Amino acid sequence: MISSADGATHIDGTSGALGSEGDHVVFRAIRAVADVILVAAGTVRSENYRPVRATDAVREARVARGQTPVARLAILSRHLDFDFDADLFTSDQPPLLLTTSAAPASALRRAEAITEVVRFDGDRVDMTAAVKALGLRGAGIVLAEGGPTLNGQLHDAGLIDELCLTFSPLLVGTAAARVIDGAGLNVQHLSLDRVLEEDGWLFLRYVRS
């Protein structure tokens, strides 16, 4: 995740304006080791997600570690309201969709004709069950890219093992959500594992104590 110095996670709905080239390098490096990238549907739409790409060197390193050549995208969506003709769904590796039994039947049929869909009972995906489902599909490392509400659900379930956080040297002054949003009180202690700095941007890695 990325945050301004005053805690904003986006500017006008997207996080890109908070970043830097160094942040992009860190972002790609973290993605390079993930088995699955977990993201909420709202973030997919607002950030205009595209199919996951990797350089030849990253692909070779992943295969040497026993991983797939690129990380698989897994999208959490209650309503499956996507443009299924977009590049994201017509690529060689369309995303895995995590949804509920309450999703519209027509959207479910369209989604299941294109990609793998995992349905959970009720009208909300249980995050513990979702992470277990990813594990059963070979995911040892799940990278959650947000948004903040998804992070809040993961936090409530006690599923965040580490936090990779970029601090941007900007004051935004808006009501944008924090890195974790909508969660109940659930204090967890973190240990600072690493600090990198470039041109005023801080790149932090915390691990759960």
65-107 confidence digits (pLDDT tens):
999 999 999 999 999 999 999 999 999 999 999 999 999 999 9
Tell me the pTM.
Answer: 0.95
Percentage of residues in the chain having pLDDT higher than 70:
100
Structure tokens at 198: 């470039």
Q: How many CA atoms lie within 13 A of 54 on its CB side?
A: 23
User: CA 87, CA 94: separation in Å to the nearest integer?
Assistant: 9
pLDDT of residue 72: 97
Contact 54, 20 (CB under 8 A): no
- Dmax over Cα atoms in the chain, in whole Å? 50
- Give the chain's domains with CATH numbers: 1-33+146-209 (3.40.430.10), 36-140 (3.40.430.10)
Q: pLDDT, tens digit, for every residue of 2-32?
A: 999 999 999 988 898 899 999 999 999 999 9
Mean pLDDT of the chain: 95
pLDDT of residue 174: 83
pLDDT of residue 175: 83
3-state secondary structure the chain: CEEECCCCCCECCECHHHCCHHHHHHHHHHHCCCCEEEEEHHHHHHCCCCCCCCCHHHHHHHHHCCCCCCCEEEEECCCCCCCCCCHHHHCCCCCEEEEECCCCHHHHHHHHCCCCEEEECCCCCCHHHHHHHHHHCCCCCEEECCCHHHHHHHHHCCCCCEEEEEEECCCCCCCCCCCCCCCCCCCCCEEEEEEEEECCEEEEEEEEC
User: CA 145, CA 132: separation in Å to the nearest integer?
Assistant: 18
Q: pLDDT, tens digit, for every residue of 40-57?
A: 999 999 999 999 999 999
Contact 10, 18 (CB under 8 A): yes
Strand 201-208 relative to strand 162-168, pairing: antiparallel
